[in-house]
Structure 1
Amino acid sequence: MSFLVIPESTRDDSGRYSLTLSNSAGEKAIFVRVKVLDTPGPVGGFEVCDVTSTGCQLSWLPPDNDGGCQIQNYIVEKRELDKKTWSNCINDLKKTSFKVTGLTPGCDYYFRVMAVNKYGLGVPKDSPKAYLTTDPISEPDPPKKMDVLEVTKNSATLGWLKPLRDGGAKINGYMVDYKEDGEPEDKWTPYSVVKDLTIVVVGLKEGTKYKFRVAARNVAGTSLAREAE
């Protein structure tokens, strides 16, 4: 009996082998398919999405190379940008997606996933970059409680309070509009954009009733307007 030994074989040694037997009478070739059992390769399609200040969503595809046997589970780990050690998120996950929770707001995190079969841990698949934990930016809430503080025959002094929620980005201005009382809703006239919480609207007609409104603005857009009470 003859043997062919491939020392320290890896998954790359899997494939179809040709064995040729020859003697003085001739030769004969046979083909043998060899399957090397090993730990899994890296998972595919690894994505990080829906990042908030305390968590994110991970998803991936099973590895192209399962090591020759069934994938048993997945291990998910995280690492802060300024640290070298990985910490475990979950080590017995049966699905190809996972919601990470309990992250520290304002930190940068790397994530990685490993497939596991009966031969051990597979090749880790790291996220392509570090992800900053922060809530998505959106338009702010309307300013709170707009009041007419003082009125003269040609002007009105207005004041308001900051929005309850800034949408995750700094308020960069307040848009003030006005219109004569009784005019349609589409007749609001832009007056000014200011950064303060008060404004004096001038050039008004004596004896005319007016309505005023203010909206907050950030890099994501403009809030709904708040009318003066």
Structure 2
Amino acid sequence: MTSLSLGHVKLKDAGNYKLTLENSHGSVSLDVRVKVIGKPSPPQNLKVKEVTQNSVKLTWSPPAEDGGSSIISYHVEKRDPKRKMYTQVGETESCEFKVTRLFEGNEYVFQVTAENDIGIGEPAELSQGITPQSPYESPLKLNVKNITRNNLDLSWSAPKNDGGSAISGYIVERRTTYSPRWSKVNRTPIKETELHLEDLMEGEEFEFRVLAVNEAGYGRPSDPTQPIQFIISDLYAKPIVLHVGEATVIEVPFRGSPQPRPTWRFEGMHITENRKKYSETIYNMTSLTLSRVALEDAGTYTLLLENNFGSSQMSVRVIVLGNY
């Protein structure tokens, strides 16, 4: 009788063992295969593949030792660096997992364990904590212009840093000054860096902001606009018809927040005021007086309203007829 004792076997003790018996007449051998089953070793090459403002994607490789039994799944856990206790955030059969519902600016530590039929093995832990944050900057220079009673135009510049992934589009959000909640203006991202908005409620004050989108998700929003409320009269949809020597006063009521600065132009040029042609603004009413008009006074007069956060304009056409 012969025997071989293996005490406290480990996974590395698995393999083929050979027993050989010899005497003067020859030898005979017997192969014995020993299978050691245990929990798997830690996953390998645990890395962070992607970080956004509210998620972290982890990747890893299978354990060097599967414990003699196929890997069933991987368990992903997180903890606060100030605490020792982990909480499970997900389970997957693949070698990657996206941890979501994280808070931007909070630091997290992650670990991954492998499981086979015997149980869950030792963890692989990231060497340092990860802080979710936007992978790229917010859009720049958000500007509001061409504001009328119910419409306006927004424009902005692309972020300087796209986080290594091209910007695929933009989402515009708005809110009223009495609401803390932002709502999307466009449900699907647009590729242009401008947007025309229609059917806004007259007299309502709005704030706007823009978010860039790429494969990593939504970036940080731009600084919001100040409350926008431009109302400019459209009383002069039809031309003003005058005869040489006549006079008229073009009066335009307006409202804006903050209070806009009115400027009058003639054929795109700033008007040099004199006794025949001068403007006056009193609170929310601006006027342009044209007296003793001549044929050369015919053309397009434009009122431009501007403040630090946007602009709006309206035009009126003046026709001057000669005397018969």
Whether TM-score is above 0.5 comes out as: yes
Runs of 4+ off more than 4 Å: 23-31, 165-171, 226-229
Q: Deviations over 1:130-164 (max 9, x none)?
A: 111111122533232379xxxxxxxxxxxxxx993
SS in 2 for 1:143: strand
Corresponding residue for 2:9?
9
The root-mean-square deviation of aligned C-alpha atoms, in Å, is 3.3
Residues 1:43 and 1:125: Cα distance change in structure 2 (over 3 Å): same
Corresponding residue for 1:69?
69
Corresponding residue for 1:164?
209
TM-score of the two chains, using structure 2 as the length reference = 0.43
Q: Deviations over 1:188-211 (max 9, x none)?
A: xxxxxxxxxxxxxxxxxxx977xx
SS in 2 for 1:85: coil
Asked whether the 8 Å contact 1:142–1:163 carries over to 2, the reply is no
Residues 1:164 and 1:4: Cα distance change in structure 2 (over 3 Å): same
Equivalent positions of 1:29-40 (< 5 A) are 30-40=30-40
Asked whether the 8 Å contact 2:142–2:222 carries over to 1, the reply is no
Corresponding residue for 1:105?
104
Residues 1:137 and 1:59: Cα distance change in structure 2 (over 3 Å): same
Corresponding residue for 2:41?
41
**CA shift at 1:169, angstroms?**
10
Q: Distance in 1 between matches of 2:82 and 2:143?
A: 40
Q: Deviations over 1:87-140 (max 9, x none)?
A: 1112x4323222211212211111111111111111211123211111112253
For these two proteins, the number of residue pairs brought into alignment is 163
Q: Distance in 2 between matches of 1:168 and 1:128?
A: 27
Which one has the largest radius of gyration? 2
Q: Distance in 1 between matches of 2:311 and 2:17?
A: 84
Q: Distance in 2 between matches of 1:103 and 1:45?
A: 23
Corresponding residue for 1:189?
none
Taking every aligned residue pair, what percent have the same amino acid on both sides? 33
**CA shift at 1:9, angstroms?**
0.6
Corresponding residue for 1:116?
115
**CA shift at 1:31, angstroms?**
4.6
Asked whether the 8 Å contact 1:144–1:164 carries over to 2, the reply is no
Structure 1, 29-38 or 104-113: larger mean CA deviation: 29-38
Asked whether the 8 Å contact 2:209–2:221 carries over to 1, the reply is no
SS in 2 for 1:59: strand
Corresponding residue for 1:215?
none
Q: Distance in 2 between matches of 1:69 and 1:126?
A: 23
Query: Is 1:88 aligned to residue 88 of structure 2?
Result: yes
TM-score of the two chains, using structure 1 as the length reference = 0.58
Equivalent positions of 1:73-222 (< 5 A) are 73-90=73-90, 92-145=91-144, 164=209, 168=220
SS in 1 for 2:63: coil
Q: Distance in 1 between matches of 2:64 and 2:86?
A: 25
Asked whether the 8 Å contact 2:53–2:103 carries over to 1, the reply is yes
Alignment gaps of 5+ in structure 1: 148-161, 172-206, 210-225
**CA shift at 1:25, angstroms?**
4.9
